[in-house]
Amino acid sequence: MRKLLGEVREIFIGIFHVYRAWWVDILLLSLIIFIPLGVLDAADSEALESLRSGESAKAVVLSVGAFLIIATATLGEVFLAGAIGLSLIHAKDGRPPSLAFIARHLSYGRLIAVDILYVVLVAAGFVLFLVPGLLAFVYLALAGPVVEIEDRGIRASFKRSIQLVRGSFWLVLVVLLPIELVGSSIGKAAEVPIEALLGHNFVAVGLAEAMTDVVLSPLWAIAAVLLTRKMVERKDGVTLPGPAVADLQSGKPSA
């Protein structure tokens, strides 16, 4: 237990230092990813509201609603984790590469496919039963960073994620699940003042979702990347390229 808590503490310290050192670049990436997804989430909510009028559709609405709530809560985080993983690999002097570099080298097709498959599998698992959803959430969480860090395909990235998490299930769970739950709770709380200001409408819901995701989703993404690097180095005995957390903390250039 002491070893687990020490590793969890190490990851959270790493999240803090990466976010602090790269916050401008990370927030710009988040804006590009989560503003459109906020609009999509608002559209989901509007569609569900329109279905509630029919009594016969209640069971369908509840099932679809549960699926969409879980799916949109994690959609985009895996893609962002891949982008941050790419940034860490190609960082120079402790700084991330430019957005233009990321735009040119990001594996869009694979990351989008992995992101969508991840949220579908996790959401389906939670809708059907809690345990399958939780297992999918943990064992498949590192697939996004693996795409960029190890340049693997879609199926290979999921298999590699399972391999990396095996033996470290509790570490990944204790790091990622609280971030996801706290982020979702803060996001829901943020909807109240924004809706009070703008009214309960499509724009308010979408803006609240997007703004909280822009700020909070990078925490999950950075955690997934740091966990991936830690698991790869532990299992394969290699040191991955890019700055160490200690370099970001001290401001020293990376090797």
Q: Residues 136-181: pLDDT tens digits?
A: 999 999 999 999 999 999 999 999 999 999 999 999 999 999 998 8
The whole-number pLDDT of residue 15 equals 92
| Predicted structure pTM score | 0.81
What sign results for the dihedral spanned by CA atoms 28, 30, 36, 41?
Answer: negative
Helix (H) or strand (E) holding 221: helix 202-236
CB of 109 closer than 8 Å to CB of 124: no
Highest mean pLDDT among 5-9, 21-25, 233-237: 5-9
The whole-number pLDDT of residue 237 equals 83
Q: Is residue 128's pLDDT more than 60? A: yes
Can you give the residue ranges of every domain in the chain?
Answer: 2-240
111: left (phi over 0), alpha (psi -120 to 50) or beta: alpha
Distance CA 236, CA 60 (A): 46
Distance CA 215, CA 200 (A): 22
What sign results for the dihedral spanned by CA atoms 189, 195, 198, 200?
Answer: positive
Backbone dihedral angles phi then psi of residue 52, each to the nearest 5 degrees: -70, -20
Buried b (16+ CB within 10 A) or exposed e, 212-224: bbbbbbbbbbbbb
The whole-number pLDDT of residue 44 equals 52
